[in-house]
Copies of this chain bind each other. A is one copy, B any other.
Amino acid sequence: MSADSVQSLIDQLHDEAEMDRPNDLTPDVGIVMGSDSDLPTMAGGKGKRPGAYAALADELGFEEQTNYTDAPESRFTFETFVCSAHRTPELMYAYAETAADRGIDVIIAGAGGKSADLPNMTASIAYPLPVIGVPVQEKSVDSVIGMPQGAPITAVDAGKSFNAALSAVQILARQHDELRDRLVSYHEGLQTEVGEASRDLHELGTPGFKREHWDE
């Protein structure tokens, strides 16, 4: 039996699943994490590198949908939930079970610790929806990646929820050329940075580059 605050979320998920909303008004990507202490890794901040939130919202033009029946203007959206596999198994179960009916196309699931069960269990229950696992810590990699034959999950490297978001959009881009273009455009920005750093380092020489680019 779940606490009230959990049960109301479970009920809401089931209600939404029965609404049969048109796909372009539901979130395309669902982000779940085992604890709100995983948020810095999943969304950036508190000294962590940029996360899935930055990739989706800042680089690729997605908006976060915070109300299932009131979609943002953007065509492409995502939603975010906390679901603890070990403290709220019923909530995790409900999220995974209703995801397809709620219109989600890809799930990004992150968890930390050595028993990072959320991504795996979500992938098992939400099957055949694709789930991309994010090991929140290095020690979570084995637990996330080690699914048995017949139970698919794919995973990114520890802490790299940013890349998980890119991978999720690569999946969506199979159907949406607009997203393919956004991915390419993001990539050109990345390359430009490398090219400029390379030319500066080469032409200024190592001491010159340090003087120019380092604070010290």
Chain A residues near B (Cβ < 8 Å): 2-9, 34-36, 39, 43, 45-46, 49-50, 53, 57, 64, 66-67, 79-89, 91, 93, 105, 113-117, 120-121, 123-125, 127-130, 132, 139, 141-157, 160, 162-164, 166-167, 170-175, 180, 183-184, 186-192, 194-199, 201-206, 208-210, 213-214, 216
Q: How many copies make up the complex?
A: 8
Distance A157 CA – B113 CA, assembled complex (angstroms): 10
Q: Which residues of B contact A7 (CB under 8 A)?
A: 195
Residue from B87, B150, B184 within 8 A of A124 (CB atoms)? B87
Closest to A202 in B: B81
B88 touches A183 (CB 8 A): no
Is the beta-carbon distance between A66 and B205 smaller than 8 angstroms? yes
- Residues of B contacting A195 in the complex (Cβ-Cβ under 8 angstroms): 2-9, 88, 91
Task: Give bound CA distance, A150 to B89, whole Å.
Answer: 13
Closest B residue by C-beta to A114: B146
A205: which B residues are within 8 A, CB to CB? 64, 66, 80
